[in-house]
Structure 1
Amino acid sequence: MSAGQSIRNSTKWVFFGGIGSQALGFIFGVTLARLLVPADFGALVTIQIFTGLVGYIAGGGMGQALVQAREARNEDYQMVFTFQLIIGIAIYAGFFVFSPLIARWFGNPLYSSLLKLSALSFVLRPFVNVPNSKLFREMRFKENTFIQLFTLLVSSLTSIALAWQGYGVWSLVWGGLAGSIAGMLIVIPVSGWKPGLRLNGARAKELARYGFTASSNDLVIYLRGQTSNFILSHQLGTAAVGLFNKADSLSQMPNGVVSGAVYHPVFRALSKEQDNLDKSRYLYFRALTLVALYSLPFYVGLWWLADPFILVVYGAKWQASAQPLAILALSGLFFAIENQSGAVAAAQNQLGIELRIQLASWALMALAVYSGLHFGLPGVAWGLLCVYAFNAAAMAWLAQRSLQARWVMLLNALKPALILNSLMFANLLLLDHFIHALRHSQPLVYMLSMAATGSVLYAVLFLFLPLSGLHAEQVTWKRKIGLMPQLLPK
């Protein structure tokens, strides 16, 4: 089996899980957005700044260390579980004590109770994270996909039921806890792992060395992503946070489906081949080609359809999210590059250099958000776009350096997707010229016309335009849809 086929087979279930999770998450998200108001989501996002921040400390990166390690025994899983459980209990106690101070700083007493309830998840996390690490290490993505979808269903349906009953932001918190409990009850028996307490200082230090660097990177990336929420919450209030977060989360969705699905299999494959630079280069650039090919058309569509999409799907109360969403849609290429380059950095153990890149991006993010505030939410979005561009360029440089690759290889990997999406953009520009009046008078008709035209055009161009680097992918799809005969087994 070729490396390209290996990537395809490894990502099939992860991709299915990503598609299913994003589709269900989108449907449930729209339902909750109709039942709740932006301030409810803004309140949840604000407390998640703190719970998410501490979450990276709770994990310590040791789960990722188990996936990356050349060898992992049952004793290692039990040791990681023990450390994470101790840390989780300590974190819950800390939130119980200090949540009133956080609520007082924001001037909102509700945050104290929300934080105390949300912090219960830290006690549950070790029961979910450790068996999940075992599934990822063993590349059992099928089981992981079904667990992920089941957890999402439980969490979302719980939130919707409570929101329907008028529980507001509490419906979101209780839904998250219900999902954690459901995930714990199913992932432990499926993984075959049994919780156990074990301490081994020498082995813990060995795993923690990699895990600390990995979690430091994840922590800084998280802080960078939460900087806009923190500043907006303090400066403009929860409604502004809810509106901007809606735009930001929608802009991340295509990346989560495609690039996120490819990341774990590619990271595991790169970890296996970390001493084989030729194979690692192939895996990296092939993954980039596929991610850009399948994610960029969604971003082109978001750029054109942000305004009618928000109005039709979410309603007028969310309309202020449309312009930031259109701006953030320009980040699609940057997300693809950063994600796959991060897999290279993790597999090649270049996390120390990545940490410096992420720290620089975090500082730039704070500067960009404060500067953009003068121009409202669109100004903040433009600031984020500049930071995403910087971070993608820096991470691509690190990947090239780690794999001893040349920049022309990166350009060649991205060229097929850039050509296809440029042609689609030009055709949508022409179509918009003729039906632009429908954008405001009949937004649903405009949205469906542009989406259908763009989808059909992209599919035709992809299947029949001769482009270097896409021949194998084109043949695979032509056989799937019956345009070419299937290969008969020998």
Structure 2
Amino acid sequence: MSLKQLTITNLKISAGMSVFSKVLGMLTSVVLARLLLPSDFGIITIVYIFLGAMNLFTELGFGSAVIHRKEKIEEALGTSFTINLIISVFLFFIIFFAAPYLASFYDEPVITNVLRVLGIGIIFSAFQFVPSVYFRKNLQFGKTAIPAFVSGLTNTIVAIILAYSGFGVWSLVYGSLASTFVNVVMLLIMCPCKPKLTFDMDIGKELFVFGKYLFAANIIIFINLHIDDAIGGKLLGITALGYYYLAYRWGTFAERIIGITEKVMFPTYAKIQDDLPKMRKGYLGVLKYVSIMTFPISIGLFAIAPEFVTVVLGEKWVPSIIPMQILCFFGLFSTIASTTGSVFTAAGKPKFVRDISSLMTVLIIVLIYPMSIYYGIIGLSLTVTIGAILSAIIASYYLLKVLDLDFLQYISAIKYSIVASSIALIATVAIKYALKNWYYVSNINSLIVLFSTFSIVYMAVLYLTDKKTVFDLVRMTRLGFR
């Protein structure tokens, strides 16, 4: 199988896996939103922030460094795993002893035990490093599909059963922990390359030299993604953070579905890093198909957010409507910006990722406090969205230089998605205003009509303006099910 065919196959597998897992996750969040309180989601958000910060130190960018290597791969995997495991155990003890202080800072005593229990997952996760990197290195993304499917299903079943049984925030805790454990065990069973406690000082230095920029970038990106939660939870309270959490989760739905393409494209770009025309052509293809999926999800949810929240999530989540609409644009621009990271890394310029993320961090730090104080969770949403727009603009500017790409070529890749989404939005808003004059139309019927209007108009306009792409998508979808 050629690299192009393998990449397309991996994209289909990864896209299918990602769509399934994200849809499953969203369906789970719908059920849990009706069973749990906003404060439960606020508590778990704070815990995940702290755990995420600890997780940054377990890999140090070694995963991408191993994928980028062309020799002594097994030795590099062994060295990376050894460092990863040692750091993970050390971090668990930090988590255990730091938990009471975090609970005191947010004035939520339950955070102590929640953080300590979920901290066990960091040690579990160390054992999935080797199989996950091995499969990505060898472009065997199908090997991760079954573990992802089973672990996602495990999380759903455990969390919903416990929520129905009245476990509250602990339903989220045990669901997450069970999911991590299942995923690790299945990956270890399926991977022919097992984790080994070996260490090579020279290889370790090489991995660190390559990975240090990605590690720095990941820290900055993490701050960008979670500083709103951390500060919002302190300034506005855990309940307000729960409303923001759900708004963010749905508003960035497109980003989390499409984000899987980065894991596929980086190893692909790495194999053709010396062939600029191929990288340029490959990137434009990815950008085109990503925009076709991202624009309708983000713009469509923006159009129907009020009806969606009241009908699907429930009336208690009404404070999340406006933040969700704002965050739809965060998801849209973040997705576009995220397509550039794998190009920069494969081209040997990971520092671009760090620098772009740093600018976004500075902007967020400057704006987040006053915006939160004066506008609450709406201010939080506006702050991160402005940062995402700026990041997308700067990332695109550097991308044009790295790939020697013409601006018109870049715009040409997304123009049909922009046109189709804009026309669909206008049609949906027009129908929404028309429905307001029909007092007997229920919220659920309005949601169905508006969703159908946007979907039909988007697909119709896309078909009329870019038939070839529509036929290509249909053909790839059919092949994906064979």
Mapped contact 1:371–1:383 kept (Cα < 8 A): no
Name 1:248's counterpart in structure 2: 248
Moved more, 431-440 or 184-193: 431-440
- 2-side partners of 1:375 and 1:124: how far apart? 40
Structure 1 residues 214 and 153: CA distance shift in structure 2, 3 A: same
User: What's the CA shift string for 1:131-190, capped at 9, x where partnerless?
Assistant: 111111111111212211111111221122222222211221122111111112110121
The answer as to whether partners of 1:307 and 1:322 remain within 8 angstroms in 2 is: yes
Give the 5 Å matches for 1:318-329.
318-329=317-328
3-state DSSP class of the match of 2:166?
coil
Distance 1:269 1:61 in 2: 18
Residue 323 of structure 1 deviates from its aligned partner by: 0.8
Asked if the contact 1:124/1:181 (under 8 Å) is kept, the reply is: yes
Residue in 1 aligned with 2:288? 289
For 1:252 and 1:158, how far apart are their aligned partners in 2?
25
1: CA distance, partners of 2:393 / 2:473: 32
Pairing 1:160–2:160 present: yes
CA RMSD of aligned residues (A): 2.1
Deviation track 1:273-326 (CA, whole Å, cap 9, x = no partner) reads 111111111111111111001111111211111111011111111111111111
The alpha-carbon deviation at position 331 of structure 1 amounts to 3.1
Task: Provide the C-alpha distance between the structure 1 equivalents of 2:105 and 2:456, rounded to a whole number of angstroms.
Answer: 52
Counterpart of 2:146 in structure 1 is: 146
Report the counterpart of residue 226 of structure 2 in structure 1. Answer: 226
Decide whether aligned partners of structure 1 residues 413 and 156 sit closer, same or farther in structure 2, where only a CA change above 3 A counts.
same
Are residues 1:261 and 2:255 paired? no
| Matched residue, 1:345 | 344
C-alpha displacement of 1:102 = 2.0
The CA deviation at 1:3 is 7.7
**Residue 53 in 1 paired to residue 46 in 2?**
no
Name the structure 2 match of 1:110. Answer: 110
SS in 1 for 2:270: helix
Structure 2 unaligned spans of 5+: none
1:261 deviates by 3.0
TM-score (norm 2): 0.94
The aligned residue for residue 459 of structure 1 is 459
Q: Is the 8 A contact 1:40 1:242 kept in 2?
A: yes
Q: CA deviation at 1:42?
A: 0.3
Out of 58-67 and 4-13, give the one that drifted further.
4-13
> Aligned match of 2:472 in 466, 473, 476?
476
With over 3 angstroms needed to count, the CA separation of the structure-2 counterparts of 1:190 and 1:382, relative to structure 1, is: same
* Counterpart residue number, 1:397: 397
TM-score normalised by the chain length of structure 1 = 0.92
1:196–1:4: structure 2 CA closer, same or farther, 3 Å change rule?
A: closer
Q: Specify whether residues 480 and 207 from structure 1 end up closer, same or farther in structure 2 by C-alpha distance, changes over 3 A only.
A: closer
Aligned to 1:371: 370
Question: What are the Cα deviations for residues 390-426 of structure 1, in whole angstroms up to 9, with x where unaligned?
Answer: 0101111221222122322211111121122122222
CA distance in 2, matches of 1:5, 1:190: 23
Q: SS of 1:197's equivalent?
A: coil
Partner of residue 316, structure 1? 315
Q: Is the 8 A contact 1:4 1:286 kept in 2?
A: no
- Residues 195 and 2 from structure 1, CA distance in 2 versus in 1: closer, same or farther, beyond 3 angstroms? closer
* Matched length: 478
Separation (CA, whole Å) in 1 of partners of 2:127 and 2:15: 25
Q: CA deviation at 1:354?
A: 2.1
Cα separation, partners in 2 of 1:380 and 1:439, compared to 1, 3 Å = farther
In 1: Cα distance, 2:246 partner to 2:150 partner: 24
Instruction: Name whichever of 6-15 and 295-304 sits farther off.
Output: 6-15
Matches within 5 A, 1:190-229: 190-229=190-229
For residue 307 of structure 1, what is the amino acid of its counterpart?
P
Q: Tell me, which stretches of 5 or more residues in structure 1 are unaligned?
A: none
The one-letter code of the counterpart of 2:362 is A
Work out whether 1:96 is the aligned partner of 2:92.
no
Cα-to-partner distance string for 1:310-368 (whole Å, 9 max, x where unaligned): 11111111111111111121234412321111121121121213212211211211233
Contact 1:7–1:265 under 8 Å retained in 2? yes
Percent of aligned pairs with the same residue? 24
Partner of 2:34: 34
The aligned residue for residue 361 of structure 1 is: 360
Q: CA deviation at 1:67?
A: 1.9
Distance (Å, rounded) in 1 between the aligned partners of 2:354 and 2:279 = 22
Aligned to 1:9: 9
1:235-261 CA distance string (max 9 Å, x none): 11111111001111111112222x213
